[in-house]
Structure 1
Amino acid sequence: MAIINHRLTAEQYEQNFSDIHPPFETHNAALVDANRCLFCYDAPCTKSCPTSINIPKFIKQITTDNIKGSAHTIFSSNIFGGGCSKVCPVEKLCEGACVYNLMEEEAIPIAKLQRYSTEKAIAQKWKLFERKPSIGKKVAIVGAGPAGLSCAHVLSREGIDVTVYEKESKGGGLMTYGIAAYKVTPQFCEEEVNYITSLGGIDIKYNQALGEQVTLDELRQNYDAVYLGFGVGLARQLEIPGENMEGVVDALQFIYNIRSKQYKEIPVGDKVAVIGLGMTAIDAATQAKRLGAKEVTIVYRRTEAEKPCTDVELDIAKLDGCNLLWLASPKEVIGKEGKVSQLVCSVMSLGEPDASGRRSPIDTGNTLTLEVDMVIKAAGQIPFEQLVTTHQINNNKGRVTIDSNCATNMEGVFAGGDCVNGGKEVVDAVQAGKDGAAAILEYLATNNTN
């Protein structure tokens, strides 16, 4: 067993990481599904969308060949509507709420139709919004992810001059660096960011990390308001013996490398164990398999009934040939000459429900051992607690604390997205950015600072 790169041919990599949900090939193909929509009054699909996209309206616009109008309807509610059409867990949101499900018929492919309109807009650089003249107000945003850029777009449309400080060399946040490459490509993420900023009035300063190249005090002094949208990103550690051994990697870093390098450059083991069963764990497991791992086992301490990922995501892992080990929790990593060779797991049983409503795993005292040469940790993400405490921002175990107006304890400083909620969907971050922008506009109007 060995952790090596360049396991596959260029053709195999291309095939393995090609679009998992291909778009409509023709307008007529889109029309077939668009014309199935019942255009429900008080539509449940719209209600289930965190950004409240008027779904029946944009689908109706497709049926009347008004693709620009359709894209405008989508982007008016969700400026990341293109990316969200590729990565949203629509089975538990809009498509899951489609009334066709009650008829035991296939739901309208809302995401695919949304992708049809938004991809055309982005590819053809349709100018769907006009920015109001600058009113002389400046806002700083920390983080060029979905929350930050959603906030920036709303503010800029109202004539606010926005400067975004981003620690990475590219914008997009989780969309660019934290999602499986077969769902959305880095190239599309870059095009989407460029489309959002093409409105004007949004200046992104890259390689500028809060607490390193720039401080919150500096931002407060130089801008009329500040919005914090820096997300989460620290991997939760397993706290077990052998965790720091060669061959044990964080899922976030593993996915980051896949997103920022060529596939052939990413090393992967023969036999890989992935700890956890959230979306990040699924993305890590499936991509390890697609990089050429011979065997991938997902280790989860509960049963399938308690899984945090969706059925659709789990099916992807199963179709890719990933094994699932239920009721097992990592106990120790064993190695030879400092390199991983085995993962010892405690055999669990389920007790009473915990605070999340899921039954709690209980150690039975028995163990089992997996022969592995690579362990990928995907046991969750934790907030940047040191960052927020250093800047004297009120928080709850690292999560930034805000009031009903998205305001922190610091005058003129607002926050939203994953750095507040601890990590939700991209679409939730987009809505948080909109809420933050509305709060900032109200604040600027009330305070009328010079």
Structure 2
Amino acid sequence: MVGTEMLVIGLLLSGMALAQGQYSFSVIVPGGEDANKDGTASDMIAQGAREGCPSVIRFPSRKYSWTILNYGSCALDLKTLTDENEQAYEDAINSATQDDEFVLCSGYFGSKALAAAAKDHPNKGFAIADFEFTPPVANIASILIRDDEEGFLAGLLAGEIAKDKSKRVAVVGGVNQPDTRRKVNGFANGVKQACPDCTPLCTYAASFTNKENESDEIFNALINTQDVDVVFNAGSITGTAVLKRMTTERGTLVIGDTTDEWVTNWAYGSVPGSERVLTSIIRDYRVLIRENIKRVLNGNLTTGVTTSFGVTENNETSTLRFADCHEACEIYTPKLQDKMQDYIQKMASGEIKPLIDHKSGYNHGGGLTSETTCTMIERKNSTQRDKLHGLRSLANQALPLEWLTAMSIFIFSLVTF
């Protein structure tokens, strides 16, 4: 049983490190063209690593049944990749595993190499952000930011804006998979929480990277519906491309995601349409990485499980927060900002919840009777995508393999003929 094999990372230290009073920690920073830009996920990860593992840090001794941890300092091995691909991660992880006691990376590209390293080095500790190992790996901690709360926050704000306007808002999702569904359906439920009479419109993209300029199709579908008051980006690069056209060609208000998009994608307000960016929902990787490094050093990070982080009552430890209003402060007013902080406190206390099932990404509990409160946007090329979405939905319900096989053959025949 994996549960009986859970390892507490604080108890995995080598005798040499204890003798030196130093803990060696490697953090793999995502690469690509945005690696060194201000405000990006890579920038936040690097900041969090430096804050969590400064060059000199002292801890009180903590006595366990067979050892005493007493670190004089924390040695940080920060590896920033030049390329964002599996080979780059494999090279960096293999190097880090040889040199350091604990290795942390993020995202899908590093998952295979990290799993291989963990298997070859069972007495070392590993963690991965933004990726979940299922089934879990005994000496890897999967650490996630709650996608459902991320979308829920955006939906609450969109609903507050729309309640005095047309009461129609939209979200552009990325690939239709559980993490994206958690964000999209969280958004829809947030809208309904703030504005029960509002209609949340939703769509999913075929890729996160705007392949074949799919953003144009999504934009056209949006403008062919009735006017929407706010559009939220839950689709990464594809979503940003849609938002830029909505701001410049339609004057629509938008909410960014993951980073402060006014800074990163509207280049500090130098890109047209920046004045229509209300705010962004920041996934604060600085906090996520910093707090989990602290957990490692304090001996209370457990591996072999998935741990999710989201909204907290303390802004210093919350991994989700609103970005500044920048040029849109006359719309996202101080009064409305206070309202959103009140929502955050209610979320942190459990008074209001996104009500999304983690595994499937669909609605769960709270009297919700349908798997989504979204109204899907009609799109020209959505027919085949909707059929495949239906098959995935059935698969999430753990139906018999024979039934799924028959259904897949039926759908394939529809698509083919």
TM range (shorter): under 0.3
Q: Give TM-score scaled by structure 1 length.
A: 0.25
Give the structure with the higher percent helix: 2
Q: Give TM-score scaled by structure 2 length.
A: 0.27
